Structure 1
Amino acid sequence: MHVYTMGLSNYAQTVLNLIDPDKVYFGDRVITSKESPNTKTLDLVVADKRRVVIVDDTVDVWPNDKSNLLQITKYEYFRDGDDNAKLKSYAEKKIDESPENGSLASVLKFLQDIHRRFEEELDSEDLRLLIHDRCRQGCF
């Protein structure tokens, strides 16, 4: 797995220290705005595009890889710096989304299903077909 952010390296490292402090899942596979300042591309990821699932809340930054994109709703645990934001972040509300039915839990279930299918060699030739089928049902 990779972390791919339009943010700066220090932002990416802060997030990684929280979600993967032992570098078990992402290691040092981080792409930031330094390597990709205006758009995101799978050309910077060494992988077979048929086997890549992009999880992102922004479609426009992936102009050439939309078929790999699983769009999710924006998850804002911390305020993004916009003092005029009408909605409070989860941290400000001192809550989080539902661990069973929230968008992150739903995405996790979908990714686990894709992984299972991949391991069992069911529908694993091109994961983009599974993404397309899921996106027709609606985003997370």
Structure 2
Amino acid sequence: MRRENTADVLKEKKLILVLDLDNTLLHSVEDGSLSSEDEYLIQLREFVEDDRDRSVFRWSGMVTKLRPRVRAFLKQASAMYDMYVYTMGSREYASQMTEFLDPEGVYFKNKVLSREDCTAPNQKGLDVVLGEERAVVIIDDSRTVWRRHTRNQIEIKAYHFFGPKRPILDFDGNPLSDTEELESKHSALDNALGYLKRIHWLFFRGARYHDNSDGDVRRVLLRIADEMQQE
């Protein structure tokens, strides 16, 4: 099934992308841990954002902030990749976060994985993804949970909104800190998208991969790493 599904995905000129949730696409904390300043930041967001741009959500004793530009990232990545979500959170948490990110079920549909799907303690694994490892790219802020698949991973800088490293906004909801201003204008997700485009192009380029039978994203990622070291 993994081989057949990989072949179907490759025929559409797509690869498979596995995305972490916490600190990669969003930041969640317990509602009770919020300071008065955190509450102020949430109120500012709720005031300046309409339903279409909504980025802060409260649910079941938690509060979640989506990473800046995450919706644009998902839209562009979906044109090149068949996407999964994989979190060490519970299945209920994964389902709710996915609904915040993809309320119309355009990107993930039933491709949502949680800690209940893990086949090794405290480790995520591609054995539960319906695709061959040679066609799978992972984006996660942690390498420790992907020890079996480090060659498939792009490590992204962790995103934090609440707590001591949170951004400070003015009364109009504009970021005052350099960190959040940079994140809003050029998110780490933009950098990741650049890698994804490069990987996709290298994998499918030229006659060598006309049937995709010998393509392997792990070789592509290694080549990109070598190119970066030479720059």
Aligned counterpart in structure 2 of residue 110 of structure 1, from 195, 198, 205: 195
| Cα distance in 2 between the residues matched to 1:11 and 1:38 | 17
**Are residues 46 and 54 of structure 1, via their aligned partners in 2, closer, same or farther at CA, if it must alter by over 3 Å?**
same
Q: For residue 103 of structure 1, report the CA deviation from its aligned partner.
A: 1.2
Aligned counterpart in structure 1 of residue 216 of structure 2, from 118, 126, 133: 126
Counterpart check, 1:4 vs 2:86: yes
Q: Percent identity?
A: 32
Relative contact order: is structure 1 or structure 2 higher (C-alpha 8 Å, sep ≥ 6)? 2
- Kindly indicate whether the alpha-carbon contact (under 8 Å) linking 1:70 and 1:135 is maintained by their aligned counterparts in 2: no
Q: TM-score, normalised by structure 2?
A: 0.49
| Cα distance in 1 between the residues matched to 2:113 and 2:107 | 15
The structure number with the bigger radius of gyration is: 2
- Kindly indicate whether the alpha-carbon contact (under 8 Å) linking 2:141 and 2:156 is maintained by their aligned counterparts in 1: yes
Of 42-51 and 6-15, the range deviating more from structure 2: 6-15
| Cα distance in 1 between the residues matched to 2:223 and 2:157 | 18
Q: How does 1:1-140 map to 2 (within 5 A)?
A: 1-36=83-118, 38-77=122-161, 79=162, 85-88=163-166, 90=167, 93=169, 95=175, 96=180, 97-100=183-186, 102-120=187-205, 125-135=215-225, 137=228
Q: TM-score, normalised by structure 1?
A: 0.77
Q: For residue 69 of structure 1, report the CA deviation from its aligned partner.
A: 0.9
Gaps of 5+ in 2: 1-82
Q: Which has the higher strand share?
A: 2
1:27-62 residue CA offsets vs partner (Å, 9 max, x unmatched): 111110112151101111121111100111100111
Gaps of 5+ in 1: 80-84
- Kindly indicate whether the alpha-carbon contact (under 8 Å) linking 2:203 and 2:216 is maintained by their aligned counterparts in 1: no
Moved over 2 A (4+): 92-96, 112-124, 132-138
| Cα distance in 2 between the residues matched to 1:106 and 1:86 | 25
- Kindly indicate whether the alpha-carbon contact (under 8 Å) linking 2:202 and 2:220 is maintained by their aligned counterparts in 1: no
Q: Which has the higher helix share?
A: 2
Of 26-35 and 111-120, the range deviating more from structure 2: 111-120
